[in-house]
Amino acid sequence: MSQALPPIVLDHPLVRHKLTRLRDRNTSTAGFRRLTRELSLLLAYEATRNLSLAPRHIEAPSGSMEGEELDGKKLCFVSILRAGNGLLDGMLDLVPSARVGHIGLRRDHETLEVSEYYFNMPSDIPGRTCIVLDPMLATGHSAAAALTRVKAAGATNPIFACLLAVPEGIAHMAELHPDVQIVTCSIDSHLDEHGYIVPGLGDAGDRLFGTR
């Protein structure tokens, strides 16, 4: 088996500041949504760092020049429902022309096993850079299942972007998808006995949608 890619952790003062506010249990639903959107934009900036470029000749106000533009098909952001949708807005702010796919997964809280209930992707996935989105990489079961489906749909070299990860989830991903680059804002300590990240930020879906 090939060696897994090491996770990329955003080490920037703005990311650390916003993530601290996001973790605060007293942050309102509106504040949580806003901070998630802002952090997702920063995540998108890092996750798209290695996109390929093609030359383009343009006429600038003071003369002609050789510029650059993105090469190939447009990006595809793939949201793992429902919490992954919280990362979409910021990503689309940065790349408004990107396609969007959705994967619905349920996790059994006793066995931690994952089952799929929804899958909807653009028809022309092959050739697109797919960035799979979920706020947290906990056990890694949902992320791994989503990436398996995205690869089966034709995606090559997908990227996984999340706000938080833990060593357990990273190890699971390394075992099943060593070729997938993980981009995250923080690697937290561990999972508790219920499979939740410590210190984490609570249930991201509940905090995003006000259902806690």
* Residue 171, pLDDT score: 96
Q: pLDDT digit string (tens) for 95-138?
A: 999 999 999 988 776 766 778 899 999 988 888 899 999 999 99
Asked if 189 and 165 touch (Cβ cutoff 8 Å), the reply is no
Q: Which amino acid is at 211?
A: T
Give the fold, CATH level 3, of 8-209: Rossmann fold (3.40.50)
Does the predicted TM-score (pTM) go above 0.85?
yes
Q: Is the pLDDT at 163 greater than 70, yes or no?
A: yes
Instruction: Write out the binding residues for uracil.
Output: 197, 202-204
Q: Output the CA–CA distances (angstroms, integers) from residue 84 to 41, 42, 79, 87, 103, in the order listed.
A: 13, 15, 5, 6, 9
Q: Is the pLDDT at 160 greater than 80, yes or no?
A: yes
Q: pLDDT digit string (tens) for 182-207?
A: 999 999 999 998 888 999 998 888 89
* Residue 112, pLDDT score: 64
Instruction: Write out the binding residues.
Output: 82, 107, 134-142, 197, 202-204
Instruction: Write out the binding residues for 5-phospho-alpha-D-ribose 1-diphosphate.
Output: 82, 107, 134-142, 203
Query: What does the alpha-carbon distance between residue 143 and residue 38 come to, in Å, rounded to a whole number?
Result: 22
Q: Output the CA–CA distances (angstroms, integers) from residue 157 to 67, 82, 113, 174, 186, in the order listed.
A: 26, 24, 25, 14, 22
Domain boundaries in the chain? 8-209
Q: Is the pLDDT at 149 greater than 70, yes or no?
A: yes
